[in-house]
């Protein structure tokens, strides 16, 4: 390849780069405009789906030639009702009285955002070290089960019980993810495959524990569910009992700060990033790549584990079930990608997806739109964001000077 | 039959890789394309072969313009290429590789492997190759793989053959054999383009020489031109072909390797009980054709190889079996053979790359936190000291030219207190200006009393810099000889022949 | 292009290498461990009583008797046999050769017999039902794995098999109902699988988006899309949109009456017979045809393929689309055979088991099929055992495919090498 034509910096085509060439680099470093446009595009597609499946719209489309205004009105009603419901459910409800009730949706958004941020940090941190952590579901389940086990299995004062349960959860998540890191370091087992498989292994392990008297199953019960969490391990409510927002959100904020310091300021984060960008060069520079993989996965799993803890000790305290992850393990991947694996980006992405989640329930209740519309929008956002040239082409933006 | 390139221009963004290049090659003729690394030779050939589309200009065969949408068109026009990095599928057999893209088939697209085997045998016989059509390519030595590449081109009835830096992986003797094959092809009427930056080889084989610099044709030369004339044309200014250095003042032996054995994961032996020593203030050059254990030797020293037996002593430290970090801490500097793989993190800034192997403590890290201010001052100083041409210390390493990237690596390694420098292919893919600079740094390091292990497949570089030369062949030391040993002798040693009276 | 590969980190302990032996030793060691586990069953958890194996059905040429054996004695015999096979394996390895595959297969059958004799003590094992059910359960896995093998052989990692199965199941239910024929449903399922493949290709091949990301996201997208449409449309009009006719079982004359083999292999639905054909055709096409040679070249060394005039990305697209058609057909199993209606997330992650089969089967269509059958067997066994009331929690049986895959990728059984350019987008130049 011709690379030495000029001495001043110049973009060089066809150069072999580290494994972060292209996509992952764009995820980590791409620009914010593309992120915003991706969200816009995804919302447009989501709107189209609502329109296409709306009964009134389809009926009016039948006689569109005769009365086009009916059709347009129906379209407008379907869309505006949907997004009004979304707004009412996620930010500020104008349909009720009293500021406290009206602002309640915002606190719900924050409640949903907490675990998304925590798990998103776990996925994003691993990304920065070049690892795909697709094992969020398994890590959350084991973390939830461990925290729940400490919760129902021990009888301790609040000051001790809650921290111990949180710690147990984080530790369980860390070890479950660390196993994938260990297998990658020792045997070169691809972490994508291992974490996917560990999701299912974890699922069945927790399922087994929940089906077995003496392990986690509530005494005398036949359902795969544990007892409810006792008061002494429940994360305190932040705004009093009228709101569901609990201390899990503070945990998430603290985690954002810690991960930010780790990645941007610490020597350990420097090594994480070096391994992520070019493991060969890292190894030749005396960085123990294997140990880095294990460390990163332990921390990442701990963060995802905290998301599980947030669920069982904060949001869904009625007992451990195999559904306690509530899809957050996979949502976290989209959060990390939208947030470009940077802590502050993940914070923003977590808040956005938290709002979508909170709003989707009110959309379902008010307009009968299935909550899964959020999954569609979420995954479209990530697809668009991962392909900036596509977004640029759709919006007819100029190409970036350096690809 | 005449192939003509007329006014070829190829741009990559703002960078002009080929600037209105025109050249002609006739049947029964060998045209050498001479130019520095990065002068644009390979880009031009990729245009000729249809891998790139030219932005301007045209390719004519016997005066008819060719439409080049892809390599398929080039092959159909009778253009074949022997690539620098072989374009062979390692897990396929020779026959499968030769037939790929040009398969003879039977019922419902079933492969006719027998026909392919027959074709391989036929061409092998014509040129006296010994190639088994059913051998897996990954099991063949590089010299044989190159012949498979040639068979592949000939099996498509190529009349124009492009050889892209074909001698980089060959011993001097294999190079001679290759040249014989090229002559044979010329006699049979083929037109041959021989791409190289090696003056000696170009002069030995070419009928005409076209010199390229910075993407443009700068002149024609005849094979009777001297090395100095060709070099000056290639670089654009008079070049010193020798490195100035004072005679070595070797001190006591500081680095001693004994009975070193290195195996890979499959149990294959790469170094078979080698031993040597280097004195303080001495450069030991390791010569040999690529793939004879040089990579494993440097990696074994650095702690990058898994299965290492024997002893590697630096002063009082035993390095064999130590981690990379311990080796670095013992004061070993390392210029890896492929800077983009092992030397630099492309997405890191120059500053970050300069602290890459010192992220575990002082002076760049305190209390687990990177000292940004200190790092930036340090990086700015090194940028000036090593004449790295970049927009600043925050420029990403991947944005630099090869020469400047290598200077960053050299700056990083030489800014520590060294007790040994291991330099592997320190000037590969680097422009001549940077080569001169890096050579001076290596000599200066020697003169400061540090033992230097220099590995290079460029015999000229080894001869210019070394105080003694060790030749490796198939994982063994053929001999350790003085630097003024005749090239012919070194060439024979690189093919495994022991010189008279040398101590291994 | 970038030659990115998955780097295998190296452990720092510089041990002397006796690697080939160590690699070959894995087989006898694994066999030994299994032998010991089975021995522990008799040693510590012996279950008294007799186990009955029922081998016959009503319509065979001749009737095989039920075989009734004493549980503990049988397991003890099995342990002896297993120990003998392990010893044979160790002997072969000590002579510098690898353990032959057939020996491992015999070992597996013997070990499974022992396990069943133990687990079903005092009960009857319906062998035919167990095996025939395994095949039925394995159908989507086999189709999915074949699709996965094809994609990865061409260099495109396909995590979205699950999405293809689910979308196939959805399309089969909806269009099978509209068309009023399961064949219409099957065609729609195949197109749905190809559509997911097309989107995967669009992002992964044309826009160089990381294939793992696209795959994972596509799975979520398909879950969202099908669940949304199910809630919005299908659930509103179940009779018009979600009540497909299903494929009936067809017993093949003669072949279907062979004892054991007949009822297991040849009294199945048309989808199963299509599956047999698909496996054979894919294996033949991949290894024996021009198309297959090119697909494999593109997956191993795309630049080499490019330099001989093969259109790398076009080859990847077509291969991916064919793979999508195949995987989509697997999805049809859910709604045209098992339960003739669509339900949300009804594949329940089966695509990930198919992915596991691809890896466990070392990217080879026949091996991947065998792996998928094995996983189908494990799933069905857990069901059968829980029906006859066995001491083994079904969760551990269901966990099996995932655990063996982890063991496989960790290199503990055999050495698996993915196609060299698997997962690497091809950029010219």
Phi-psi region of A235 (alpha: psi -120 to 50; beta: other; left: phi over 0): beta
Q: What is the domain range of residue A341? A: 110-367
Domain-embedded: residue A19: no
A399 touches A392 (CB < 8 A): yes
- Is A24 within a domain? no
DSSP state of B394: T
Q: Evaluate if residue A13 carries a pLDDT over 70.
A: no
Q: Characterize A363-402 residue by residue with b for buried, 16 or more Cβ atoms within 10 angstroms of its Cβ, and e for exposed.
A: bbebbebbbbbbbbbbbbbbbbbbbbbbbbeeeeeeeeee
For C350-394, the pLDDT digits (tens) are 999 899 899 888 899 999 999 999 889 988 888 888 887 777 788
Residue with tokens 């294939």: C211
Tell me how far apart the alpha carbons of residues B108 and A9 are, in angstroms, rounded to a whole number.
53
Q: What is the pLDDT of residues A353-382, one digit of tens each?
A: 999 999 999 888 888 888 899 999 999 998
Torsions phi, psi for B477 (to 5 deg): -85, 120
- Residue C412 has a pLDDT of 59
pLDDT at B278 over 90: yes
Across A388-397, B155-164, B257-266, least confident range: A388-397
Distances (CA, A) of A58 to A50, A365, C13, C235, C315: 11, 21, 69, 17, 40
Torsion B449-B455-B460-B463 (CA) sign: positive
Listed residue (C181, C177, C186, C166) closest to C228, CA to CA: C166
Against chain B, the chains showing at least 3 CB pairs within 8 Å are A, C
Q: Give the number of A-B residue pairs with CB atoms closer than 8 Å.
A: 162
Spatial contact of C127 and C53, defined as CB atoms under 8 Å apart = yes
Pairing of strands C50-54, B476-482: unpaired
- Over residues C138-164, the pLDDT tens digits come to 999 999 999 999 999 999 999 999 999
C166 close to C342: Cβ distance less than 8 angstroms: no
- Say yes or no to pLDDT of C4 above 60: no
Whole-number pLDDT of residue B15: 80
Report how far residue C268's alpha carbon sits from residue C376's, in angstroms, rounded to the nearest whole number.
15
What CATH number did the domain enclosing A119 receive? 1.10.3470
Q: Which pLDDT value is given to residue A323?
A: 92
| Domain spanning B253-494, CATH architecture | 3-Layer(aba) Sandwich (3.40)
A304-348 residue pLDDT tens: 999 999 999 999 999 999 999 988 998 999 899 889 899 999 999
d(CA A288, CA A296): 12
Interchain proximity A383–C221, CB inside 8 Å: yes
Radius of gyration of chain A (CA): 23
CB A124 within 8 A of CB A255: no
Which tokens go with B217? 């044709």
Cβ–Cβ below 8 Å for C399 and A200: yes
A402 touches chain B (CB under 8 A): yes
CATH 1.10.287 fits C133-398, yes or no: no
| Residue of B84, B89, B148, B161 best to disrupt the C interface, most CBs of C under 10 A | B89
Backbone angles phi, psi at B87, to 5 degrees: -95, 65
Does residue A200 have a pLDDT over 70? yes
Mean pLDDT score, A290-317: 96
Q: Give mean pLDDT, residues B341-348.
A: 93
Q: Name which of A216, A241, A220 is nearest A229 in CA terms.
A: A216
pLDDT bin (cut points 50, 70, 90) of residue B501 is low
- Residues B246, B249, B251, CA angle at the centre, nearest 5°? 160
Window B:294-333, CB contacts with C under 8 Å: 303-309, 320-321, 323
Average pLDDT for B154-182 = 86
Residue A23 has pLDDT above 50, yes or no: no
| Residue partners of B194: CB distance under 8 A and separation at least 6 | B30, B31, B32, B33, B163, B166, B182, B201, B202, B205, B206
How far off is chain C from A386, nearest CA to CA, in Å? Answer: 6
The CATH code that applies to domain B2-235 is 3.40.50.300
A342/chain C closest Cα distance in angstroms: 17
Q: Under an 8 A CB cutoff, do B90 and C15 touch?
A: no
User: Which of helix, strand or coil describes residue B286?
Assistant: strand
Q: Do C310 and B303 touch (CB under 8 A)?
A: no
- Give yes or no for residue B330 having a pLDDT over 70: yes
- Interval C64-78 mean pLDDT: 87
| pLDDT band per the 50, 70, 90 thresholds, residue C16 | very low
Residue A375, C-beta contacts closer than 8 angstroms, at least 6 positions apart: A327, C220, C221, C223, C224, C227, C228
More confident residue, B261 or B16: B261
- What's the complex ipTM? 0.84
A281 and B390: CB-CB below 8 Å? no
Determine if the peptide bond prior to B363 is cis (ω within 30°): yes
**A7 — pLDDT class (breaks 50, 70, 90):** very low
Please count the residues of chain A.
Answer: 403
Chain A 47-106, residues with CB within 8 Å of chain C CB atoms: 49, 53
Give yes or no for C230 touching A (CB within 8 A): yes
- On the question of a common fold for B2-235 and B253-494, the answer reads yes
Q: How far out from the chain centre does Cα A68 lie?
A: 42
Which residue of C304, C305, C311, C420 to mutate against B (max B Cβ within 10 Å)? Answer: C304
Higher pLDDT, C100 or B185: B185
Q: How confident is the model at residue B467 (pLDDT cuts 50, 70, 90)?
A: very high
Q: Which of B394, B374, B372 is nearest to B383 (CA)?
A: B394
A57 located within any domain: no
Output B53 or A253, whichever has higher pLDDT: A253
At residue C267, the pLDDT reads 87
Q: Delimit the domains of chain C by residue range.
A: 19-122, 133-398
- The DSSP-derived string for A248-267 is HHHHHHHHHHHHHHHHHTBH
Across the range C300-321, mean pLDDT stands at 94
Q: Which two tokens stand for residue C230?
A: 């199910």
Q: Name the residue with tokens 């998955």.
A: C6
Intra-chain end-to-end CA distance of chain C, in Å = 6
What's residue C59's pLDDT? Answer: 67
| In-domain check, residue A32 | no
pLDDT, residue C143, reads: 98
pLDDT tens, C249-259? 888 888 888 88
**Contact (CB, 8 A) for B497 and B503:** no
Q: Which residue of B has its CA nearest to A22?
A: B347
Residue A280 is nearest to which of B342, B370, B403, comparing CB atoms? B342
Is residue C14 very low, low, confident or very high in pLDDT (cuts 50, 70, 90)? very low
**Chain C residues 377-396 within an 8 A CB cutoff of chain A:** 393, 395-396
- Tell me the DSSP string of C334-369: IIIIISSS--TTTTTTHHHHHHHHHHHTTT-HHHHH
**What are the residue boundaries of the structural domains of chain B, listed by start?**
2-235, 253-494
Residues 61-80 of B with CB under 8 A from C: 70-73, 75
Which chain C residues have a beta carbon less than 8 Å from that of B264?
Answer: 17
pLDDT at C261: 84
Q: Report whether A42 contacts A337 (CB < 8 A).
A: no
| Residues of chain B with C-beta less than 8 angstroms from the C-beta of A127 | none
Q: What is the tens place of the pLDDT at every residue in B61-105?
A: 988 898 888 888 998 899 999 988 899 999 999 999 999 988 888
pLDDT at C124 over 50: yes
pLDDT in tens, B363-388: 999 999 999 999 999 999 999 999 99
Structurally, how many domains does chain A consist of?
1
A53-67, A158-172, B171-185: which range is least confident on average?
A: A53-67
Mutate to test the interface with C, among A1, A23, A329, A353 (most CBs of C within 10 A): A23
Residue C31 pLDDT class (50, 70, 90 cuts):
confident
Residue C94 pLDDT exceeds 90: no
Mean pLDDT taken over chain A? 87
Span between the terminal Cα atoms of chain B, in Å = 53
Lowest-confidence segment of B59-73, B135-149, B468-482, C89-103 by average pLDDT: C89-103
Residue with tokens 């090869």: B402
Whether the predicted pLDDT of A5 surpasses 60: no
| Nearest alpha-carbon partner for C351 in C168, C135, C145 | C145
At residue A11, does pLDDT exceed 60? no
DSSP secondary structure, A372-395, as one string = THHHHHHHHHHHHHH-HHHHHHHT
Over 90: is that where the pLDDT of C411 sits?
no
Are B96 and C293 in contact (CB < 8 Å)? yes
Instruction: Indicate the residue of A3, A11, A16 with minimum beta-carbon distance to B38.
Output: A3
DSSP-derived 3-state class of residue C79 = helix
User: A2 in a domain, yes or no?
Assistant: no
Is A10's pLDDT higher than 50? no
Does residue A81 contact residue A366 with C-beta atoms inside 8 Å? yes
pLDDT at A136 over 90: yes
pLDDT class of A4 with cuts at 50, 70, 90: very low
Q: Are C292 and C315 in contact (CB under 8 A)?
A: no
Residue A316 domain flag: yes
CA distance C123 to C385: 10
Q: Which member of C13, C289, C306 has the closest CB to residue B51?
A: C306
b/e per residue, B111-128, with b = 16+ CB within 10 A?
Answer: bebeebbebbbebbeebe
Contact state of B359 with A274 under an 8 Å Cβ cutoff: yes
Q: What is the mean pLDDT of chain B?
A: 90
A197, A208, A376: residue with CB nearest C393: A208
Contact partners, residue C106, CB within 8 Å, separation at least 6: C85
Interface test mutation site (partner C, options B101, B272, B307, max chain C beta carbons within 10 A): B101
Q: Cβ contact (<8 Å) for B321 and C14?
A: yes
Is C62 in contact with C258 (CB distance < 8 Å)?
A: no
| pLDDT in the model for residue A400 | 57
């Amino acid at each position: 390849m011709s690379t030495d034509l000029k001495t001043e910096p110049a973009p060089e085509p066809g150069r072999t780069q580290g494994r972060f060439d292209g996509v992952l680099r764009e995820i980590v470093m791409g620009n914010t405009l593309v992120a915003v446009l991706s969200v816009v595009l995804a919302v447009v597609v989501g709107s189209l789906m609502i329109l296409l499946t709306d009964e009134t719209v389809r009926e009016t489309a039948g006689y569109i030639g005769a009365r086009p205004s009916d059709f347009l009105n129906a379209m407008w009603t379907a869309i505006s009702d949907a997004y009004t419901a979304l707004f009412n459910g996620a930010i500020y409800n104008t349909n009720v009285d009293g500021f406290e009730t009206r602002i309640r949706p915002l606190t719900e958004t924050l409640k949903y955002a907490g675990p998304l941020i925590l798990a998103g940090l776990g996925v994003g941190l691993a990304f920065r070290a070049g690892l795909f952590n697709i094992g969020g579901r398994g890590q959350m389940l084991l973390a939830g089960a461990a925290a729940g086990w400490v919760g129902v299995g021990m009888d301790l004062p609040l000051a001790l019980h809650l921290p111990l349960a949180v710690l147990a959860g984080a530790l369980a998540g860390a070890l479950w993810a660390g196993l994938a890191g260990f297998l990658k370091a020792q045997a070169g087992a691809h972490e994508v495959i291992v974490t996917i498989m560990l999701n299912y292994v974890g699922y069945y392990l927790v399922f087994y524990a929940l089906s077995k008297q003496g392990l986690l199953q509530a005494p005398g019960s036949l359902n795969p569910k544990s007892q409810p969490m006792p008061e002494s391990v429940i994360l305190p409510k932040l705004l009093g009992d009228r709101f569901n927002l609990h201390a899990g959100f503070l945990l998430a904020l603290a985690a954002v700060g810690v991960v930010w310091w780790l990645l941007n300021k610490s020597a350990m984060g420097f090594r994480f990033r070096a391994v992520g960008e070019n493991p060969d060069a890292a190894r030749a520079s005396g960085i123990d790549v294997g140990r880095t993989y294990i460390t990163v996965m332990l921390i990442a799993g701990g963060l995802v584990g905290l998301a599980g803890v947030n669920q069982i000790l904060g949001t869904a305290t009625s007992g451990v079930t195999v559904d306690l992850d509530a899809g957050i393990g996979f949502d976290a991947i989209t959060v990390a990608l939208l947030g470009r694996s940077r802590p502050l980006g993940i914070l923003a992405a977590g808040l956005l997806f938290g709002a979508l989640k909170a709003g989707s329930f009110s959309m379902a209740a008010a307009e009968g739109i299935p909550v899964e519309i959020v999954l569609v929008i979420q995954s479209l956002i990530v697809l668009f964001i991962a392909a900036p040239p596509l977004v640029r082409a759709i919006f007819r933006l100029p190409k970036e000077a350096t690809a | 039959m005449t192939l003509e390139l007329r006014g070829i221009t190829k741009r990559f963004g703002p960078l002009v890789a080929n600037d209105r290049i025109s050249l002609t090659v006739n049947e029964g003729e060998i045209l050498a394309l001479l130019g520095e690394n990065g002068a644009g030779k390979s880009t031009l050939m990729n245009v000729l072969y249809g891998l790139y589309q030219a932005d301007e200009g045209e390719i004519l065969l016997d005066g008819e313009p060719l439409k080049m949408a892809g390599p398929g068109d080039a092959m159909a026009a009778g253009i074949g290429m022997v690539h620098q990095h072989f374009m062979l599928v390692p897990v396929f057999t020779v026959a499968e590789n030769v037939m790929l893209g040009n398969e003879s088939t039977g019922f419902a697209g079933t492969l006719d492997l027998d026909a392919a085997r027959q074709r391989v045998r036929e061409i092998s016989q014509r040129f006296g190759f010994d190639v088994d059509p059913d051998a897996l390519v990954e099991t063949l030595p590089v010299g044989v793989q190159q012949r498979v590449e040639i068979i592949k081109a000939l099996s498509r009835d190529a009349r124009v053959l492009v050889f892209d830096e074909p001698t980089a992986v060959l011993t001097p003797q294999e190079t001679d054999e290759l040249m014989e094959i090229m002559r044979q092809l010329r006699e049979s009427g083929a037109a041959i383009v021989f791409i190289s930056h090696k003056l000696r080889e170009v002069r030995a084989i070419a009928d005409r020489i076209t010199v390229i610099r910075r993407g443009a044709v700068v002149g024609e030369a005849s094979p009777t031109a001297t090395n100095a004339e060709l070099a000056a044309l290639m670089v654009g200014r008079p070049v010193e072909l020798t490195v100035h250095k004072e005679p070595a003042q070797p001190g006591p032996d500081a680095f001693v390797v004994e009975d070193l054995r290195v195996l890979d994961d499959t149990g294959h032996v790469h170094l078979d009980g080698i031993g040597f020593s280097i004195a303080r203030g001495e450069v030991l050059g390791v010569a040999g054709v690529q793939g004879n254990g040089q990579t494993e030797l440097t990696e074994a020293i650095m702690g990058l190889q898994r299965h290492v037996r024997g002893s590697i002593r630096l002063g009082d430290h035993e390095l064999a079996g130590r981690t990379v970090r311990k080796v670095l801490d013992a004061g070993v500097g390392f210029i890896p053979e492929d800077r983009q793989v092992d030397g630099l993190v492309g997405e890191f800034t120059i500053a970050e790359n300069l602290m890459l192997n010192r992220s575990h403590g002082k002076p760049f890290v305190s209390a687990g936190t990177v000292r940004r201010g200190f790092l930036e001052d340090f990086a700015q100083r090194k940028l000036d000291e090593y004449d790295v041409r970049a927009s600043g210390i925050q420029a990403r390493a991947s944005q630099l030219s090869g020469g400047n990237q290598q200077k960053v690596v050299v700056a990083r390694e030489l800014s520590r207190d060294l007790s040994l420098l291991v330099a592997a292919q320190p000037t590969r893919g680097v422009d001549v200006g940077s080569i001169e600079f890096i050579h001076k740094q290596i000599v200066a390091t020697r003169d400061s009393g540090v033992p230097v292990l220099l590995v290079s497949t460029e015999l000229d570089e080894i001869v210019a810099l070394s105080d003694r030369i060790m030749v490796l062949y198939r994982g063994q030391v053929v001999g350790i000889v003085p630097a003024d040993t005749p090239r012919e002798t070194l060439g024979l040693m690189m093919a495994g022949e022991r010189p008279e009276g040398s101590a291994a | 292009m970038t030659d990115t590969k998955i780097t295998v980190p190296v452990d720092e302990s510089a041990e002397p290498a006796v690697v080939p032996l160590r690699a070959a030793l894995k087989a006898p060691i694994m066999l030994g461990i299994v032998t010991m586990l089975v021995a522990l069953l008799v040693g510590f958890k012996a279950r008294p009583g007799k186990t009955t194996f029922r081998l016959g059905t009503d319509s065979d040429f001749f009737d095989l008797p039920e075989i009734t054996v004493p549980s503990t004695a049988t397991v003890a015999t099995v342990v002896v046999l297993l120990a003998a096979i392990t010893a044979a394996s160790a002997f072969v390895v000590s002579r510098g050769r690898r353990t032959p595959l057939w020996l491992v297969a015999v070992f597996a059958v013997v070990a499974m017999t022992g396990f069943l004799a133990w687990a079903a003590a005092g009960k009857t094992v319906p062998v035919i039902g167990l095996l025939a059910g395994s095949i039925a359960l394995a159908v989507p896995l086999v189709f999915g794995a074949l699709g996965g093998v094809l994609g990865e052989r061409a260099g495109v990692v396909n995590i979205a098999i699950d999405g293809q199965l689910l979308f196939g199941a959805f399309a089969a239910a909806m269009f099978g109902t509209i068309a009023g024929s399961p064949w219409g449903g099957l065609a729609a399922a195949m197109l749905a699988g190809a559509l997911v493949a097309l989107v995967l290709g669009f992002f992964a091949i044309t826009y160089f988006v990381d294939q793992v990301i696209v795959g994972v996201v596509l799975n979520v997208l398909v879950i969202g899309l099908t669940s949304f449409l199910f809630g919005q449309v299908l659930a509103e009009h179940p009779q018009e949109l979600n009540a497909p006719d299903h494929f009936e079982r067809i017993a093949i004359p003669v072949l279907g009456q062979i004892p054991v083999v007949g009822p297991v292999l040849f009294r199945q639905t048309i989808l199963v017979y299509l599956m047999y054909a698909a496996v054979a055709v894919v294996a033949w096409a991949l290894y024996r045809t021009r198309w297959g040679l090119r697909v494999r070249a593109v997956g191993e060394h795309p630049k080499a393929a490019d330099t001989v005039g093969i259109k790398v990305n076009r080859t990847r697209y077509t291969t991916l689309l064919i793979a999508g058609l195949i995987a989509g057909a697997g999805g049809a199993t859910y709604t045209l055979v098992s339960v003739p209606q669509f339900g949300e997330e009804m594949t329940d992650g089966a695509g990930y088991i198919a992915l596991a089969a691809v890896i466990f089967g070392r990217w080879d269509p026949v091996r991947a099929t065998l792996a998928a059958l094995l996983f189908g067997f494990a799933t069905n066994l857990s069901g059968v055992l829980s029906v006859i009331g066995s001491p083994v929690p079904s969760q551990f049986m269901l966990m099996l495919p995932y655990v063996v895959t982890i063991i496989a990728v960790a290199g503990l059984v055999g050495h698996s090498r993915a196609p060299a350019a698997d997962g690497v987008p091809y950029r010219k130049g």
